């Protein structure tokens, strides 16, 4: 288990600070992550990778000459926010466009896509390739839905090598897509991982048993079996991956392959060498030409005890790119010519944006906004363990932690805005942005969408009509469905959000006051959230292990219903106090 931390909520930030302090030769800190501390050629495509922390050396450890130009580093097992990705990409941009790559997880897709849209709007060309190497997470017919695990390394390295060779942005994306198509991975674990401050691992495996096909964020495996011998494990991994050859590889015999045996955090190198010995024998017996084998830690899962095998099948172009020298904090191949150190003077953060003017009525509403955000924090804190437990059944167990990080950040931002004399819209907008930025992940992004949509209807002048509040909630629901691509019935927060928004609008149209309408809508959300227990998830990380979640409500829908109910009680209390 993880033993050393100060405050669990500060762990990722303190880890990144220490990583940078230990590796200033390679990286420098920027908002949202790290970029190279050396100068890159003008006009070179900037390769920006990223994901949640807890996977070292992915992602910051792969920043340096010959590999990534920058890494957006989210909180533990939470995707970086759109703001973080944008900030890192801006800092890494060399004028040749930005290439984004990351593992295929819902939160990462949401946030990287949002950052890409913002960069493109500013005239910075962007392309994206998501890594989808995990063979157990979807069928071959739905390869685009697969997760990215240790295959990140092959895609990142090929894209960066192409950038180093002078390929333009479209060509970098082309070879990265080819590398992704020619990469397959499969993993197992003997114990789950424990996040700093957590009392138990995100999942557990019985003594003497092994989880097969697990995810790197603590998602449980798709199967469980007795722990085999080292040779037996090698045979399981090789047989599974040779059973699915990439397009363009007609037969294993005679083909080139780069094997990557990856440790997930606690497995010892000596154990992996014993396993790799048999992997090499099996690949050789299959007639495969082994090129540049890798045995080590390339994409971990905090302190998880387990391993994964990746097979990368390069063609002639990919094989040549694979030989590009690399020099990063955690990954070195060949010899690079040391580049000049970059001028760090441009790193100063911009001053905080001034609070726009607001009238007295809107400032009064801002205090209600602050009270509502305080209520959200209290609600999340009271239910954080329950939300984590629900999420662990078929997800990765961090929903409570993520909601806690986001809501606390929102509260700090809202309080600062109110203290500065902000109106309702500005207060809620700053809370929304802080939530999405600090929480990261899918829920962080979506709560940012909901709160920003509501803020747009509040304004910084006057007191908004109840119908404006309802319109903001409806807009938030529409934004979540557009942004997250989920629909009612997919077993997500949408299943509670849509009935909440429609019931609120309908009750107000029928003449109810805001507090009464809100309570009615919260009841509808609560019933809908409970009904998600009967659904099979079709979106998000739970999709892969959806059968495990039947009988348990969706954590995102459940947390939304809890929050809606608590805010409804606040509005009722304020109404009663106003009538006294």
- Give whole-number Cα distances, 109 to 116, 130, 429, 522, in Å: 10, 8, 22, 30
Tokens of 231: 């040779």
- With a CB cutoff of 8 Å and minimum separation 6, the contacts of 467 are 505, 508, 509
* Residue 268 DSSP SS3: coil
* Residue 158 DSSP SS3: helix
Please name which of 451, 315, 436, 290 lies closest in space to residue 370, comparing C-alpha atoms.
451
- With a CB cutoff of 8 Å and minimum separation 6, the contacts of 295 are 261, 269, 272, 273, 276
Other CB atoms within 10 Å distance of the CB of residue 553: 23
Place of tokens 């396993």: 275
336, 326 Cβ separation under 8 angstroms: yes
Q: Which of 217, 383, 408, 545 is catalytic?
A: 217
Cα(314)–Cα(280) distance, integer angstroms: 17
Active site residue 217: yes
- Give whole-number Cα distances, 324 to 67, 165, 317, 339, in Å: 9, 9, 12, 15
Tokens of 170: 């479209």
Cα(262)–Cα(328) distance, integer angstroms: 18
Cα(20)–Cα(257) distance, integer angstroms: 34
Q: Give the chain's length.
A: 580
Pairing of β 209-212 and β 326-327: unpaired
Cα(544)–Cα(216) distance, integer angstroms: 13
For every residue of 51-96, DSSP letters joined together read: EEESSTTTTGGGBSBTSBSEEEEEEETSPPPHHHHHHHHHHH--SS
Residue 130 burial by Cβ neighbours in a 10 Å radius (0-12, 13-18, 19+): buried
- Give whole-number Cα distances, 445 to 394, 478, 546, in Å: 21, 14, 22
Residue 438 burial by Cβ neighbours in a 10 Å radius (0-12, 13-18, 19+): buried
Residue numbers annotated as active site: 217
């Amino acid at each position: 288990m993880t033993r050393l931390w100060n405050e669990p909520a500060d762990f990722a930030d303190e880890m990144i600070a220490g990583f940078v302090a230990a590796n200033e030769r390679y990286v420098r800190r920027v908002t949202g992550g790290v970029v190279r501390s050396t100068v890159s050629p003008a006009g070179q495509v900037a390769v920006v990778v990223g994901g949640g922390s807890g996977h070292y050396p992915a992602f910051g450890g792969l920043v340096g000459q010959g590999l990534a130009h920058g890494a957006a580093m989210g909180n533990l097992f939470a995707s970086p926010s759109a703001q973080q990705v944008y900030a890192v990409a801006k800092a890494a941009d060399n004028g040749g466009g930005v290439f984004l790559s990351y593992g295929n997880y819902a939160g990462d897709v949401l946030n990287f896509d949002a950052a890409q849209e913002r960069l493109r709007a500013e005239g910075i060309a962007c392309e994206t390739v998501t890594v989808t190497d995990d063979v157990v997470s979807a069928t071959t017919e739905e390869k685009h839905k697969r997760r990215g695990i240790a295959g990140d390394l092959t895609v990142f390295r090929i894209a960066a090598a192409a950038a180093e060779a002078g390929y333009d942005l479209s060509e970098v994306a082309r070879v990265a897509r080819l590398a992704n198509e020619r990469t397959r991975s499969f993993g197992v674990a003997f114990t789950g991982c424990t996040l700093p401050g957590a009392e138990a691992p995100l999942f557990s495996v019985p003594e003497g048993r092994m989880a097969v096909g697990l995810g790197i964020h603590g998602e449980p495996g798709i199967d469980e079996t007795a722990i085999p011998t080292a040779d037996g494990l090698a045979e399981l991994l090789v047989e599974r991956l040779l059973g699915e050859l990439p397009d363009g590889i007609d037969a294993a015999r005679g083909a080139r392959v780069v094997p990557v045996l990856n440790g997930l955090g606690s497995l010892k190198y000596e154990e992996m060498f014993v396993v790799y010995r048999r992997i090499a024998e099996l690949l050789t017996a299959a007639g495969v030409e082994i090129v540049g084998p890798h045995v080590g830690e390339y994409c971990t899962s905090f302190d998880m005890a387990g391993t994964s095998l990746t097979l990368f099948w390069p063609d002639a172009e990919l094989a040549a790119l694979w030989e590009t020298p690399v020099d990063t904090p955690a990954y070195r191949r060949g010899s690079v010519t040391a580049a000049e150190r970059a001028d760090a003077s441009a790193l100063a953060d911009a001053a905080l944006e001034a609070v726009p003017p607001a009238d007295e009525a809107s400032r009064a509403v801002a205090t209600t906004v602050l009270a509502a955000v305080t209520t959200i924090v209290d609600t999340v804190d009271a239910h954080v363990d329950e939300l984590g437990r629900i999420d662990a059944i078929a997800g990765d167990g961090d929903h409570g932690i993520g909601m806690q990080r986001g809501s606390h950040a929102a509260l700090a931002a809202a309080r600062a805005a109110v203290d500065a004399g902000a109106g309702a819209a500005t207060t809620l907008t700053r809370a929304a942005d802080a939530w999405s930025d600090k929480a990261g992940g899918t829920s962080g992004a979506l709560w940012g969408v909901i709160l920003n949509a509501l803020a747009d209807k509040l304004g910084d002048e006057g007191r908004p009509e109840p119908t404006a509040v309802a319109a903001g909630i409806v807009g938030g629901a529409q934004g979540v469905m557009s942004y997250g691509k989920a629909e009612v019935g997919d077993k997500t927060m949408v299943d509670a959000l849509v009935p909440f928004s429609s019931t609120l609008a309908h009750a107000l149209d029928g003449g109810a006051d805001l507090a009464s309408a809100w309570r009615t809508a919260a009841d509808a959300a609560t019933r809908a959230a409970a009904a998600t227990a009967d659904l099979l998830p079709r979106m998000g990380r739970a999709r892969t292990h959806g059968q495990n979640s039947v009988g348990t409500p969706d954590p995102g829908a459940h947390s939304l219903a809890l929050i809606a109910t608590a805010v409804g009680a606040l509005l009722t209390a304020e109404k009663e106090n106003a009538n006294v």
